[in-house]
Structure 1
Amino acid sequence: MTKADIVNEISKNTGIEKAVVLETVEKFMESVKGSLAKGENVYLRGFGSFIVKKRAQKTARNISKNTTIIIPAHNIPAFKPAKTFMGEVK
C-alpha cells in the first residue's frame, strides 16, 4: 500500500477531500520524523512505537579491498508494533 492508497482509503471512508487528507498525512509524517531526529520516541497506543535505536561502533570488512573499516556509533529509526497490532496481523 502506498501513501496515495492510504490517502484514497481515508478519503473514501471519511468523505474528507483528498487534498486535506494528503496534507494531514504529510504533517503526521513530518511530526514523526522531527521527533525521531530530536531523539524522541513516538508512541501510538494500539498501533506501535516509532523509536530511535542506538547502534554501537563496530568493525567491518571491505572484502574487495581486503581492508578493515570502523563504522562509528549511530542512531537508526525503527518501528515496534503493539501487541494488539501483532495479534491482528497474524
Structure 2
Amino acid sequence: MSDDGHVDGNALAGDLREIFAVDVTAAVGRCSGCGHRGPVASLRVYRDAPGVVARCPRCEEVVLRLVRGPGRAWLDLRGAVSLEIPLPS
C-alpha cells in the first residue's frame, strides 16, 4: 500500500474476473450522449470497420468499440456512462 492509501490496479483482478465472466449483453448501459438506458444487446452494431462499433439506438452516438488482434483485444467504453451488470447469485 502506498503512503496515500491506494494500491495498484492489480487489486481489481478478482472483481473484474467475476464481472466479465458473465454475459455482458444482458448488462444495462447508459449512453453518455443522450442518457438512454438499455441492454447492451439493444445497441446497433456495425462490423464494417477494422473492429466492431456499437451505437446508441436512440441518438446514434458510439457507445462501444472493440478491436481484436492476435492474442488480445481493445475495448473502449467511453460512450457509456455506466454498465449495470447482473451477477449470478
Whichever of the two has the greater Rg, that structure is 1
Identify which of structures 1 and 2 has the higher relative contact order when contacts are C-alpha pairs closer than 8 Å and 6+ apart. 2
Shared fold per TM-score greater than 0.5: no
Scaled by the length of structure 2, what TM-score is found? Answer: 0.26
- Decide which structure has greater helix share: 1
**What TM-score do you get using the length of structure 1 for normalisation?**
0.26
